[in-house]
Amino acid sequence: MPAGMAFLAAITSVVYYHNIETSNFPKLLIALLFYWTLAFITKTIKFVKFCDNGVGFSQLRFCLTGLLVVLYGMLLAVEINVIRVRRYVFFKTPKEVKPPEDLQDLGVRFLQPFVNLLSKGTYWWMNTFIKTAHKKPIDLKTIGKLPIAMRALTNYILLNEAFEAQKNKRSSSPQGSRSIWRALCCAFGRPLLLSSTFRILADLLGFAGPLCISGIVHNVGKGNNTIRPQTKILGVFFISSQEFLSNAYVLAVLLFFALLLQRTFLQASYYVAIETGINLRGAIQTKIYNKIMQLSTSNMSMGEMTAGQICNLVAIDTNQLMWFFFLCPNLWAMPVQIIVGVLLLYYLLGISALIGAAVIIVLAPVQYFVATKLSQAQRSTLEYSNERLKKTNEMLRGIKLLKLYAWEHIFHSSVEETRQKEMTSLKSFALYTSISIFMNAAIPIAAVLITFVVHAHLTRKADFSPSVAFASLSLFHILVSPLFLLSSVVRSTVKALVSVQKLSEFLSSEEIGEEHDKSSELRSADNHSKYQAVPLKVVNRKRPAREDWNNYSSHMRRPINITEADDFCVKITNGFFTWTPEGPPALSNIDIRIPQGQLTMIVGQVGCGKSSLLLAILGEMQKISGNISWSRKRGAVAYASQKPWLLNATVEENITFESSFNKQRYKAVIDACSLQPDIDILPHGDQTQIGERGINLSGGQRQRISVARALYQQTNVVFLDDPFSALDIHLSDHLMQEGILKMLREDKRTIVLVTHKLQYLPHADWIIAMKDGNIQREGTLKDIQKSETELFEHWKTLMNRQDQELEKETTIEENPVLERTNLRRTMYSREALLKDDEEDEEEVTESDDEDNLSSVLHQRAKMPWRACGKYLSAAGILLLPLLLLSQLLKHTVMVAIDYCLALWTEHAISIKTEPEIKNCSQCMEFDHSQYSKVFSILCCLGIVLCLVTSIAVEWTGLKVTKKLHSSLLNKIILAPMRFFETTPLGSILNRFSADCNTIDQHIPATLECLSRSTLLCVSALAVISYVTPMFLIALVPLAIMCYFIQKYFRVASRDLQQLDDSTQLPLLSHFSETVEGLTTIRAFRYEAKFRQKLLEYTDSNNIASLFLTAANRWLEVRMEYIGACVVLIAAVTSITSCLYNKITSGLVGLGLTYALMVSNYLNWMVRNLADMEIQLGAVKRINGLLKTEAENYEGLLSSSQIPQNWPDRGEIQIQNLSVRYDSNLKPVLKHVNAHISPGQKIGICGRTGSGKSSFSLAFFRMVDTFEGRIIIDGIDIAKLPLQTLRSRLSIILQDPILFSGTIRFNLDPEKKCTDSMLWEALEIAQLKHVVKALPGGLDAIVTEGGENFSQGQRQLFCLARAFVRKTSIFIMDEATASIDMATENILQKVVMTAFADRTVVTIAHRVHTILNSDLVIVMKRGVILEYDKPEVLLEQEDSVFASFVQADK
């Protein structure tokens, strides 16, 4: 009774205290103060009385009273301390306590650091969050902000202080690996120590399981004699501690509490370690970003450090360190666990335990070897996977060409060949995985077998009771887990050491220079003070970049007077600049000045150092000597680099670039850069998201957006590096007049313009001419005309040539229009090309529907059983039954092994105890041989089945992955062109990359883990139910609880997992963007803004990771508490059954051992179920693509009915032809009729969207011909098999496409031609001299996309490719758009002579190219407008063709 009252009082006081805290009414504390004082005094009196009467530690009541005295004393001390510190109760002015700053901000929803101890330990605060997640999807808004202590900024400051401390200690090598480790330990060591303490406590409590099982089974074997207290003191019977602990029920309750505590400590250890790892990752990422901002540009430009290496450092190495910190506590906890485990086994079994433990320990290196091989196999798989993806990417990018040339099978087999190599690697990966799974399952069986057989036969008189056997069995299960973990921990440690080495090399790489560092402190004061908390900075590989931020002055806008000494903006005197300290100067003897508020042009040949000069002024190059001075402190410079750099943001955000939005200015800039027509075409106007590196825009569009950004900024200085390079003459002129002269010069800005367009020189106020890294001349145009007559004359001839080009350049088919055509084709349905506004609107709604579709796809479906069925059915009829049967058999045998052990030990103990009961001295010894044989056979069968199941799972995985990839590739390569125009390339690639990787490597392992943990739980519950059927009654409510917990958890876990992945992408792309655009960022002085963005992205990723961790802990705590309840119920019911002689003590041991197993595997079952659900999404998405309709490749005519050399003449008859891109879209060609005689040269022209390209595609059946027909040499092309039709015609597309490989492969992938034929084609295409000069000639390497050739050369290679085919019909679709006029004229003549006997259809970009044609077709909106000889059409005054030619002159 007193104990019950004390318990109630304790609960009441806790509730009371909690209410005082929540109501913030501390005066009520006085009641608690009285309670604790009285309790402490009364218990102390009682304790003293016990001492006086000689009651000692052997008595339970004495121990409990002593414990309560200590507890009440501590609570009283805490109470008095609270009152003293907070000045409560007896003080007039209590101290006001404000809640933490985080909790005042309603945006913080991660409450783990702020809740009370119980809520911390059980993650009770997560309940509301997980319930909410079930009702609506989790997004960044739902999870809120990170608490201040966990933000990247806070942790970066912490890490930086540790680095500084190390730097002061070791000035010699402040960034070495050792000092980095020391800094990391100094900054993040404390929480790791806490985590390790929790872990060791949890591991020690874990041993309570085997010990309690041993005690319970031993006691129930003796009949669990009820406690009879023998000692009577002060008139009360006292129970000794030993008597108390020899009661089975007491041990069951103790086991329950030990399990609760153990699981709570274990999850707390995991949580603290993962939280520390996440904080560390955020800090290191910020540190890397800071270093990037300070990196010397030469590191990037000279290839010492690539953008890829830096991104790997961020994406891979920081995660390696995070995982190392997570696994770190195991380094200390595992040795403790192993030592204690072996000692307990030795105590129970003697020498035979050491033999069993030796088996486990000896096999640990084998496991490590397997783990090493596994990671090697994974690495080689990754290499082949990357190669396959590269080929798949090329195949998808060039799919239009492959279809037109009927080369799908070549690229298909190329991808398949790489896939075969990848599959070989995957096979070894699967083999080592199955060995690893097999060893994990088989080692404990082998150890138990050897131990028990040795124990039974060698030590005849040894104790072989159920209590010893089942306690040993549990100990073996405990001992095996740290040894399995060992390989992971060792691997993780090795990876972390390598990562820190890489980090050390990166952090010690050369920086921009001390002067720049000092300047950053100055400038952050007047710029962006709100972001200045962390002095961070960033890098670029392609654009050598570097900045002397501080030595720059802002510029007064005033007219120049060159005689004044003070009116320059920048002046360089005697400057020598280099990219690398050791290298020769890239710029020498630089003496220039750039006048204030004027237009300065820098001209010179390619490679003479014009761009380098701009970068030298911006402080990006290393100064050997000389001086750069600005008239005033340098401010931001609006800089447009030669290679446009765009953010992965909307068009508007790219132009305004963090500046405030001014509608009028924005409109003017859009107009100056002629961007309005392009914006109109984009699906969401200027709110369209530009892909990474502007991937969904053409070169000209990227350049104009980059220039628009420079024009929009309100800076006094503007640097434009060759802004006209990708623009045609009209756009260049418009940009020069409206943008540079009107917007900038009239506004008295200082403009520095690097250009090759010499016709703009008259506009320049100041000209700097460069040659070979030197200044050839500077001054006004008049100065140069007087002093450098020769140079001026040279310029004049070039200017005239460029002016003539201006006249020749077409006004109709301009490059930007061409770009827009391409853009529309890539952005969405090509139907939009041919319509007016109303159809554009239709397209927009169509894309909106696609958005709705994607939101439907994101809906949170239930467990994807259908996808699971698809996955398993792909395994085939033989494998699936093998997989299921082997798993069921294995677990049946495992149960049989333990059941056999229960019978064996029970029989052994009964034989041993019988003589004692009968007082018989001569008694037969128990013969172990029969049982040991059966036990050995079952164990061996179990080991074999472990091998079979592990191989079956991996084999199934291999078969499924092979089948799914093969089906996917076949479907995609045969899909119609419309599919590729309406499905984003990235989406298709993701199926081949991320989804295939999931199916290849992750699903088999998860499937194995899920089936193992599920069947273990099921078999354990079955065994417990068999031992004590009463258990089934208690199982029902527990099962219902489990069901709801897993249901709620799965939904939250899936959302958080997706959020974790989706927040990682912007972070990594921000790093790569910063690296690419470092020069621009430093020129604009935007480091602080970009740093702030980084902190936001890092915090978003970290909060998602933290919530995911907390959700996992939430689940595991609950599942393990349910597991503990299972153990308690199983223990109580089995003890009761045993005491009433219903079951033997052996079965009690069996039931309890299995009950402990449930508590271990229950949460794994739910975790694997959640993982499986996410991973099956990959199967679901791939199945979605497998439903794609393929093109109809079959024809009505068989190959024997088609003449071998068809088409031999090249006669084309087009009869009433109407085509469309899709059955639900409007026609793009309407009732077209034409007749083309053999060998005729036909020119087709018309404005953009008139149907010219659709006309050419109709010959190849790339579009849907729903009316009319095309007859070539007497055969209707609709009757031909597609492969035959496309392989007999030739076409050159307007976009040049080259594939990585050799020149020979690009010209003739089918390997049908001789070398002489290839050289002849190259000669026709004016490329023979270029290829001859290359190492390897025809076998010279072409890089991905043909990047090692210019745009013009790529187009010429495409021409050569078409010439190689020697077909009698040849179509050129705006094929000379990228070629200069001189080369184009040569080509026109060659085509006329070399193809004199072939039919040539030319779709014209420049109208003058088709003046020599036999016939001209003029098209408008899908209808033929004019169709006659060019000379006839030119004579007609009102002809459209004549007006085109007139405009083209």
Grade residue 818 by pLDDT with cuts at 50, 70 and 90.
very low
92 by Cβ neighbours in 10 Å (0-12 / 13-18 / 19+) ranks as exposed
Calculate what percentage of the chain has a pLDDT beyond 70. 82
Bigger pLDDT: 1116 or 985?
Answer: 1116
What residues contact residue 417 under an 8 Å CB cut-off, 6+ apart?
Answer: none
CA separation for the pair 112, 121 (Å, rounded): 9
Q: Which amino acid is at 1344?
A: E
Confirm if 815 and 677 have CB atoms less than 8 A apart.
no
pLDDT for res 1140: 77
Bigger pLDDT: 39 or 985?
Answer: 39
Average the pLDDT over each of 179-193, 536-550, 1078-1092, 1359-1373 and give the range with the smallest value. Answer: 536-550
The pLDDT tens digits of the residues spanning 443-460 come to: 888 888 888 888 777 766
Which residue carries 């008259």 as its tokens? 762
pLDDT for res 280: 92
Give me the DSSP letters along 598-658. SEEEEE-STTSSHHHHHHHHTT-SEEEEEEEEESS-B--EEEE-SS----SSBHHHHHHTT
- Rounded to 5 degrees, what are φ and ψ at 1373? -100, 95
CA separation for the pair 602, 1163 (Å, rounded): 69
pLDDT for res 456: 76
Average the pLDDT over each of 33-37, 540-544, 567-571, 949-953 and give the range with the smallest value. Answer: 540-544
Q: Which two tokens stand for residue 251?
A: 């041990």
Average pLDDT on 203-222 reads 84
- What is the number of alpha carbons within 13 Å of residue 1195 lying toward its C-beta? 19
- Write out the H or E segment, with its range, that includes residue 1285: helix 1282-1287
pTM: 0.76
Mean pLDDT across the chain: 77
CA separation for the pair 1212, 1273 (Å, rounded): 7
CA separation for the pair 68, 89 (Å, rounded): 26
Grade residue 763 by pLDDT with cuts at 50, 70 and 90.
confident
**CB 803: neighbour CB atoms within 10 A?**
13
Average pLDDT on 381-406 reads 83
pLDDT for res 618: 83
CA separation for the pair 1292, 404 (Å, rounded): 9
Pairing mode of beta strands 637-640, 717-721: parallel
Confirm if 522 and 528 have CB atoms less than 8 A apart.
no
CA separation for the pair 628, 615 (Å, rounded): 12
- DSSP class of residue 1192 equals -
272, pLDDT greater than 90: yes
| Residues 45-78 as b or e (16 or more Cβ within 10 Å = b) | ebbeebeeeebeeebbbbeebbebbeebeebbee
CA separation for the pair 515, 155 (Å, rounded): 27
CA separation for the pair 992, 978 (Å, rounded): 20
Distances (CA, A) of 306 to 284, 298, 540: 19, 11, 8
Q: Which amino acid is at 510?
A: E
Bigger pLDDT: 1128 or 687?
Answer: 1128
Confirm if 1008 and 950 have CB atoms less than 8 A apart.
yes
Residue 368 β-bridge partners:
none
Average pLDDT on 950-977 reads 86
Grade residue 1257 by pLDDT with cuts at 50, 70 and 90.
confident
Average pLDDT on 825-836 reads 34
Confirm if 1149 and 217 have CB atoms less than 8 A apart.
yes
pLDDT for res 551: 32
Bigger pLDDT: 800 or 563?
Answer: 800
The pLDDT tens digits of the residues spanning 1186-1228 come to: 888 878 777 777 777 777 778 788 888 888 888 888 777 788 8
552, pLDDT greater than 50: no
Grade residue 170 by pLDDT with cuts at 50, 70 and 90.
low
Angle value at C-alpha 1010, between 472 and 381, nearest 5 degrees: 110
Average pLDDT on 1407-1425 reads 81
Bigger pLDDT: 562 or 419?
Answer: 419
Taking the mean position of all CA atoms in its chain, how far away is CA 552? 39
The pLDDT tens digits of the residues spanning 733-760 come to: 788 888 888 887 777 888 888 887 777 8
Average pLDDT on 467-482 reads 80
The pLDDT tens digits of the residues spanning 62-105 come to: 788 888 888 888 888 887 887 777 777 666 666 666 777 777 76
- For 502-555, the three-class secondary structure string (H helix, E strand, C coil) is HHHHHHCCCECCHHHHHHHHHHHHHCCHHHCCCCCCCCCCCCCCCCCCCCCECC
